[in-house]
Structure 1
Amino acid sequence: MSGPMSGVRVLEVAQWTFVPAAGAVLADWGADVVKIEHPQTGDSQRGLRQLGHITIEGDRNPVMEHANRGKRSVALDMATPDGHELLMDIAKTSDVFLTNFLPDARKKLRIDVDDLRAANPDIVYARGSAYGPLGPDAGAGGYDMTGFWSRAAGAAGSTPCDIDGVVPQPGPAYGDSIGGMTIAGGIAAALFERERTGHARVVDISLLGVGVWASGVAVNAALVSGQPWQTNPAGANVTPNNPLVGFYRTADGRFLGLSMLQGFRYFAEFCRRVGTPELAEDERFATHQLLAANAVHAIEVLRATIGAQPLAHWRAALEGFDGQWAPVQTTAEVAADPQVRANGNIVTVQDRGASFDLVASPVLFDETPLSLAPMPEFAADTEQLILDLGGDWDRILALKESGAIA
């Protein structure tokens, strides 16, 4: 594939979504990503067929496609001597080694930094972890629900203060996907430095660190005040000093999301569009200061007005309005959103004569949607890669007989 990462080879020894998602982003950008899978089990997610209430049927596997499109699959048992030798042969031709294996496993399998650098001193070594490479929890495992969502305050910061429970992540692999994009950015920076200086870095990204960054403004506020972030109650909430920031319920149980931080600037036109022009003429809202002081009264009127019509009515009424608003959409609506399609956030993938749509990573280069390749079939590229490395069929047969490859 063409792209800014064309000519870069990434050797990926990872499972699940967080770190493989980084490989998918790099593949989107044109890198040759070689995914190592165990000859008997493969990536554990290949068998995942239940996502929440959705049962996946047929050949499609959304979670695998999301994190593994565009890669090559090599089935290799690196715990065997022959398998480890082949892994190091691939490493010698690679620019990046990407892994989420825990420290003890990396040491046991001889795939730690020193092992890879012995084969290729110039390789960028990238590790994704739950809690980072330092501190007492450096060796602990975890998923995005624990490291990103729970421990980094995303769950607490998203849970309304008046409900009994905790709000889950918006969807499967939510923190993993954000984290994978972050890993890809860190690798790109390390490759840029290596190109300029010749120095190859070790890159570390944790789900905890990504989560702390995502909640960074609220955490910074806690650093200043010593107070935890206070969430709003459940329901359609509006900022108490600005009637144009928050959520309004529509007649059909949907919601409008408003984010007009300069509320007074847009207030008159918004009132006109929703059919309450007299509200903007009310002397209680005649200045920015008065609107802020009396926002509760404007909110009461706007709640009743917006709640009297369905979402489709307000989409039409606010079409072309300069103020910042959006409908609160479902994932099915996002999949059909023409703006999403126009910007290449979802693209069509060709696979063995058929086609399907898939979410793309969110960076455009030269205003051109990315061209994605499908995820690889298990072990599909093992033999060809060995031949590309200069091996022959005798070596392939020997590796198969020893159990090093599938």
Structure 2
Amino acid sequence: MDKPMAGVRILEVAQFTFVPAAAAVLSDWGADVIKVEHAVTGDAQRGLVSVLGLDAVAPGSSFYPIMEGPNRGKRSIGLDLAKPEVRPVLEQLIRQSDVFLTNYLPSARRKLGIDVEDVRAINPDIIFVRGSGFGVRGEDADKGGYDSTAFWARAGSAAHVTPADAEQMCQMPTGAYGDSMGGMTIAGGISAALYRRATTGETSVVDVSLLSVGAWAMQFGVNLAMVTGGPLPEAGSPKHGAARNPLSGTYRTSDGRWLMLTMLQPGRFWPGFVTLIGRPDLAEDSRFDSAEKLMANAPEAGRLVAEVLQERTYAEWTALFATMSGPWAPVQDVWEVSQDPMLRANGYISTVVDADGEQRELVTSPVQFDESPQQLTRAPQFAEHTDEILRELGVSDEQSIQLKIAGAVT
């Protein structure tokens, strides 16, 4: 069974990527996701044309990667939740849903009547899920946050990837970086809440913040800082390899590309590695002929490895290393990732037909069931399914017209 969430309905009142990405994952797993968008403006992310300096729109196409990723497989309805005329529609949607998913701030939820108490008054069994920037308690609970602020900057990643002498802070490596991880986290929380309800009959309020996801991603360093009682010292390391392991770190090839070695047992892998790269003499070298000596002389060993790896190209080394038993990886750019044979072999890239009928490809969410690659469908156009959903709710065409005239639905 490759659609374990079939039969679950998610009502999403959210925008941008963090929380919508969770519903995209659940849609991949078979859930019926209804995305509520503002009747006039839609999801605010539809208006983003540039992300981290890159164009976010495919020219001349309706295919919009920044919307497709976190919204594939959903149905979109355009509702102005501030209009009293739309309240019966919203309440009917709530009654028919298993999960209410939102990233609206507390003040907005109260104003629109979609806070926990409001929603539970309509459907006592619904699972209420909040995605926030900084959590639901404390002075910043009603403060908005993006992954660049809450996940990347405030939770420590930015500081610890930016060199001390850098003139500019390192940015996230791609748009919605923390949002995508946060969406997976929310999807896991929803799954646990659905299991709890199925086994105990008790429902849940699920909370995930970008700050908490960022701190979780940085937990090794954060936990260590709490043990030591202060900021961690700058980790001094040689130019090549690690301070006590020449087989752990990045090395440059003759054409300026990078290779990552992560052989955490240097004594075990050293003889085979140096033989593979054409320097078997280093296995017998008195400076490196035991694990203890190799660790003690790691900077010098790293320098010698670097000299050898700079003699051949990236393509030459990756072909040679394909037979190596020790853990390593090529350092790939996003195009190379999209063509990675292991991603392709495992179905982690899926074909989707866009609104123009063109075949496109998207990265799937990383969980598979029963060894079945996920089959994706495109994200909805703005308010594309309004009429379809209204009819499902029992709204007549005449009533639908009146709602549209009132500006309550689109």
TM over 0.5: yes
SS at match of 1:284: coil
Distance 1:278 1:228 in 2: 42
- Alignment partner, residue 40 of structure 1: 40
1-structure distance, mates of 2:238, 2:388: 56
Residues 1:6 and 1:268: Cα distance change in structure 2 (over 3 Å): same
The question of whether the paired residues in 2 share the 8 Å contact of 1:335 and 1:346 is answered with: yes
Aligned counterparts of 2:52 and 2:149: Cα–Cα separation in 1: 17
Task: Specify every segment of 5 or more residues in structure 1 that has no aligned partner in the other structure, as ranges.
Answer: none
Please, which moves more after superposition, 282-291 or 228-237? Answer: 228-237
Q: Which amino acid aligns with 1:130?
A: G
- 1:255 counterpart = 2:258: yes
Taking only the aligned residue pairs, the percentage that are identical comes to 50
Q: Which residue of 2 aligns with 1:395?
A: 399
* Matches for 1:227-376 after TM superposition, within 5 Å: 227-230=230-233, 237-351=240-354, 353-376=357-380
TM-score w.r.t. structure 2 length?
0.96
Q: How far did residue 144 of structure 1 move? A: 0.4
Q: CA deviation at 1:336?
A: 0.9
- The residue type paired with residue 45 of structure 2 is Q
CA deviation vs aligned residue, 1:116-170 (integer Å, no higher than 9, x gap): 1011000000000000001121111110011000110011121123323311111
Distance in 2 of aligned mates of 1:232 and 1:65: 40
Deviation at 1:355, TM superposition (A): 1.1
Alignment of 1:97 onto 2:100: yes
In structure 2, the CA distance between the partners of 1:279 and 1:227, relative to structure 1 (3 Å rule), is farther
Q: How does 1:159-238 map to 2 (within 5 A)?
A: 159-230=162-233, 237-238=240-241
Q: Show CA shifts across 1:91-137 (max 9, x none).
A: 10000000000000000000000111011000000000000001121
Distance 2:37 2:103 in 1: 13
Displacement of 1:213 in angstroms is 0.2
95 and 342 in structure 1: CA distance in 2 versus 1, 3 angstrom threshold: same
> What is the letter of the counterpart of residue 151 of structure 2?
F
In structure 2, distance between residues paired with 1:388 and 1:235: 65
Identify the residue that residue 6 of structure 2 maps to in structure 1. Answer: 6
Unpaired segments ≥5 residues, structure 2: none
SS at match of 1:363: coil
For residues 52-78 of structure 1, what are the alpha-carbon distances to aligned partners after superposition, in whole Å with 9 as ceiling and x for unaligned? 343231222111001111000000111
Asked if the contact 2:262/2:328 (under 8 Å) is kept, the reply is yes
* Distance of 1:227 and 1:307 partners within structure 2: 39
SS at match of 1:12: strand
* 1:320 Cα deviation from its structure 2 partner: 2.1
Change (3 A) 1:285 1:2: closer
- Name the aligned partner's letter for residue 27 of structure 1: S
Please give the per-residue CA displacement for 1:247-289, whole angstroms capped at 9, x wherever unaligned.
0011111100011111111111111111111111112112211
Alpha-carbon distance change, 134 to 237 in structure 1, aligned in 2, over 3 angstroms: farther
- Give the aligned length: 406
Give the conservation status (yes or no) of the 8 Å contact 2:238–2:299: no
Q: Quick one: distance in 2 between partners of 1:347 and 1:162?
A: 42
Q: Given that residues 35 and 75 in structure 2 are in contact (C-alpha distance below 8 angstroms), is that contact kept between their aligned partners in structure 1? A: yes
Contact 2:248–2:263 (CA under 8 A) maintained in structure 1: yes
Query: 1:161, 1:232 within 8 Å by CA — same for their partners in 2?
Result: no
CA contact (8 A) 1:159 1:231 kept: no
1:285-313 deviation line (CA, Å, top 9, x unaligned): 12211111111111110011111211111
Letter in 1 for 2:332: Q
Query: What is the CA-CA distance between 1:171 and the residue it aligns to?
Result: 0.4
Contact 2:130–2:206 under 8 Å retained in 1 = yes
2:362 corresponds to which letter in structure 1?
Answer: L
Q: Alpha-carbon deviation of 1:387?
A: 1.0
Aligned position for 1:386:
390
Distance in 2, Cα, partners of 1:235 & 1:103: 49
Question: Against the structure 1 CA distance between its residues 68 and 290, is the aligned structure 2 distance closer, same or farther, given a 3 Å change threshold?
Answer: same
Deviation at 1:400, TM superposition (A): 1.3
Distance 1:398 1:307 in 2: 71
Measure how far apart 1:230 and its partner are: 4.4
CA gap 1:400/1:235 in 2 versus in 1, 3 angstroms: farther
Q: Using a 3 Å threshold, how does the CA distance of structure 1 residues 22 and 188 change in structure 2: closer, same or farther?
A: same
SS across alignment from 2:25: helix
Across the aligned residues of Structure 1 and Structure 2, the Cα RMSD in angstroms comes to 1.6
Q: Are the structure 2 counterparts of residues 230 and 331 from structure 1 closer, same or farther at C-alpha, using a change threshold of 3 Å?
A: farther
Kindly provide the amino acid, as one letter, of the partner of residue 61 in structure 1: Y
TM-score by length of 1: 0.97
For residue 364 of structure 1, what is the amino acid of its counterpart? Answer: Q
Equivalent pair of 2:241/2:299 in contact (CA under 8 Å): no
Tell me the CA shift for residue 81 of structure 1: 1.1
Report the secondary structure of 1:241's partner residue: coil
Classify the secondary structure of the residue corresponding to 1:285: coil
